[in-house]
């Protein structure tokens, strides 16, 4: 039975679509941040629980263009970390650099130890670099960074393996480090929402796989579990006890425990999704597959999508999946307005957001309740 979506809020994007990447809502529930990366700055707008602006937007100057790396914003918006081609740099809202950790170059076979972005800004062989990522712990006191080694502080002859660093957010000190044993095209971090000592790292290796790593810091050593080589972690439940994953081939969606062990009965093959109503009649080869999108609406409910496989036939579809009582059938989400061509992002408090069809607003949704 379809689920009707109720519009809770409309949040204008902080930059015109052509001037920035897709905006994001992040932060713990009740302390939302609207974040958008432009070419020369990251624009951060604090929002209240109703998604109304709190104060004015803050423009944090960026050390390199948006196509040259990712970013992470601390939970209190007091620090932005830019993960770039040659360095991880922490920038305060004033624009002052708090610290920088320089590392090996992410651009293909380059073995140079770049001292600044200007070293390679105009070089053709650095136009399409690979990239790592960074993420803040739940308490904002540490930064986890996936980098290409070696670090600039390593001695002569140090090897250039990919590494996972744990950094002090206050001064950039390297608290711990470990090899990821990966060959990344890109990566992203997902923190444990309650435990600041835990973090997950999903690494994309293109067609070769999607390694998943789980990290735990005991105050002295960083322990890294190499969980799976073909599994993308999409979301962590509000308690941190459950994980939502999508297989690298996008054929299976699953809920797992904190050790990433599959929970009994909580796996959905993409074949459970009905054919798109606009699919070519009589074509039995039309199959849906899960997007790398979605997450936990609450501890036991998921939102997910099949937009990528739907686009050939018409409007992309979003699905709500209840995980209580076994693997029930996904329920189609019905929206009152078009919601664009991106998958949904769960907020963990029963709500989720989508990008408007025009790309200039974020739409925040909840499930319509009986009688509404």
Q: What is the pLDDT along the chain (372 residues), one digit of tens a residue?
A: 899 999 999 999 877 777 888 899 998 888 899 999 998 999 999 999 999 999 999 999 999 999 899 999 999 999 999 999 999 999 999 999 999 999 999 998 899 999 999 999 999 999 999 999 999 999 999 999 999 999 999 988 788 899 999 999 999 999 999 999 999 999 999 999 999 999 999 999 999 999 999 999 999 999 999 998 899 999 999 999 999 999 999 999 999 998 899 999 999 999 999 989 988 876 666 789 999 999 999 999 999 999 999 998 999 999 999 998 766 789 999 999 988 788 999 999 999 999 988 888 999 999 998 766
Comparing CA positions, the residue from 67, 57, 59, 87 lying closest to residue 21 is 67
3, 331 Cβ separation under 8 angstroms:
yes
Report the DSSP beta bridge partners of residue 191: 199
pLDDT for the residue numbered 285: 67
Residue with token string 């690979």: 130
Whole-model pTM? 0.95
| Residue-by-residue DSSP string for 107-129 | STT-----SSGGGTTT-GGGSS-
| Residue-by-residue DSSP string for 215-234 | EEE-SS-EEEEEEESBEEEE
pLDDT for the residue numbered 252: 97
3-state SS class at 270: helix
1, 331 Cβ separation under 8 angstroms:
yes
344, 303 Cβ separation under 8 angstroms:
yes
Q: How far apart are CA 233 and CA 242, in angstroms?
A: 11
Collect all residues with Cβ–Cβ distance below 8 Å to 52 and sequence separation of at least 6: 9
Would you state the structure tokens that stand for residue 124, as one six-digit string? Answer: 């053709």
3-state SS class at 68: helix
Domain ranges of the chain: 23-289
pLDDT for the residue numbered 108: 85
Report DSSP state, residue 18: G
Report DSSP state, residue 86: S
pLDDT for the residue numbered 289: 95
pLDDT for the residue numbered 327: 63
Domain 23-289 has CATH 3.40.50.300: no
Comparing CA positions, the residue from 360, 255, 260 lying closest to residue 304 is 255
pLDDT for the residue numbered 371: 65
Q: Is the peptide bond before 270 cis (omega within 30 degrees of 0)?
A: no
Q: Rg of the Cα trace of the chain? A: 21
Reported residue count of the chain is 372
Comparing CA positions, the residue from 258, 225, 224, 216 lying closest to residue 239 is 258
């Amino acid at each position: 039975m379809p689920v009707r979506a109720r519009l809770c809020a409309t949040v204008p994007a902080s930059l015109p679509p052509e001037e920035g990447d897709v905006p994001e809502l992040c932060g713990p529930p009740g302390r939302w941040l609207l974040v958008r990366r432009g070419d020369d700055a990251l624009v951060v707008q604090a929002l209240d629980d109703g998604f109304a602006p709190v104060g004015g937007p803050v423009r944090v100057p960026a050390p390199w263009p948006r196509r040259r790396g990712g970013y992470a914003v601390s939970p209190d918006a007091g620090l932005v970390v830019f993960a770039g081609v040659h360095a991880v740099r922490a920038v305060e809202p004033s624009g002052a650099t708090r610290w920088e950790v320089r590392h090996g170059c992410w651009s293909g076979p380059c073995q140079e130890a770049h001292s600044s972005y200007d070293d390679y800004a105009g070089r053709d062989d650095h136009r399409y670099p690979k990239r790592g990522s960074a993420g803040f712990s739940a308490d904002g006191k540490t930064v986890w960074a996936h980098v290409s080694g070696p670090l600039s502080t390593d001695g002569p002859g140090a090897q250039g393996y990919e590494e996972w660093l744990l950094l002090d957010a206050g001064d950039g000190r390297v608290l711990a480090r470990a090899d990821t044993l990966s060959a990344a095209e890109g990566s992203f971090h997902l923190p444990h929402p309650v435990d600041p000592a835990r973090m997950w790292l999903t690494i994309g290796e293109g067609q070769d796989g999607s390694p998943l790593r789980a990290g735990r810091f005991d105050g002295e050593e960083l322990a890294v579990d190499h969980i799976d080589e073909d599994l993308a972690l999409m979301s962590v439940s509000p308690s941190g006890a459950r994980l939502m994953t999508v297989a690298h081939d996008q054929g299976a969606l699953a809920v797992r425990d904190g050790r990433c062990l599959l929970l009994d009965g909580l796996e959905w093959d993409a074949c459970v999704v009905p054919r798109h109503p606009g699919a070519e009649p009589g074509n039995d080869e039309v199959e849906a597959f899960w997007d790398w999108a979605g997450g936990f609406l609450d501890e036991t409910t998921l939102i997910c999508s099949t937009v990528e496989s739907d686009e050939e036939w018409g409007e992309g579809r979003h699905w709500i999946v209840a995980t209580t009582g076994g693997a029930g059938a996904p329920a189609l989400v019905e929206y009152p307005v078009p919601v664009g061509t991106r998958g949904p992002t769960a907020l963990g408090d029963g709500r989720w957001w989508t990008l408007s069809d025009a790309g200039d607003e974020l739409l925040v949704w909840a499930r319509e309740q009986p009688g509404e």
